[in-house]
Structure 1
Amino acid sequence: MTISNDAMSLASMGFTLLLVIIGLIAWFFVNRASVRASQQVRLLESLLEEQKRQNVMLHRLTEAVAGKEKAASTGERDSQDFIRLIPER
């Protein structure tokens, strides 16, 4: 009977050791995935900030171009209005 108890105890200890090893391997992969996800979130946040800066620059550029076009069109309109004021002979 002592051999049976010893074998049972050894098997129980081996099974526990196997579960601990499997648990550590699972923890390693879960932790690794978590770290990668955190890195991806940081990268996405930095991309978002860069995109916001680019949008602001693009908005300023389009306002500047629209302002120049508007000034040019009012200048042309003023010259056309001036021509209309002079009667033809």
Structure 2
Amino acid sequence: MNDLAANSGPLVSYGVWIIILIVAFIAWFFINRASVRAGEQIELLQSLLEEQKKQNTLLRRLVDAQPGAEEKKHGEEQDKRDFIRLIPER
């Protein structure tokens, strides 16, 4: 009986190391997976940003190409300044 108890020590420590190793691999898998997904999302957001920049430049060209755009812009700026003057300060 003493021989069995004396020899079970290394066996138990190997079992603990195997369990720790399995848990570490599972944790690594989920962390790696989350990292890859975050990288993909960043790439998608960057491509969306580029598309929005292109659309903004096209819209700016369209607005600038319309006749009377400068007069309208100047009138809107004047209206904004007048509106700001109407707001009482606290």
Task: Specify if TM > 0.5.
Answer: yes
Tell me how far apart the structure 2 counterparts of residues 54 and 6 of structure 1 sit (CA, whole Å): 73
* TM superposition score normalised by structure 1: 0.72
Unaligned residue ranges in structure 1 (runs of 5+)? 71-89
Aligned to 2:60: 59
CA drift at 1:3: 1.8
Aligned to 2:49: 48
Tell me how far apart the structure 2 counterparts of residues 15 and 34 of structure 1 sit (CA, whole Å): 28
Q: Radius of gyration: which is bigger?
A: 1
Is 1:5 matched with 2:6? yes
Aligned to 1:82: none
- Matching residue's letter, 1:43: L
Structure 1 segments of 4+ aligned residues over 4 angstroms from their partners? none
Tell me how far apart the structure 2 counterparts of residues 6 and 19 of structure 1 sit (CA, whole Å): 21
Q: Which has the higher contact order (CA 8 A, sep 6+)?
A: 2
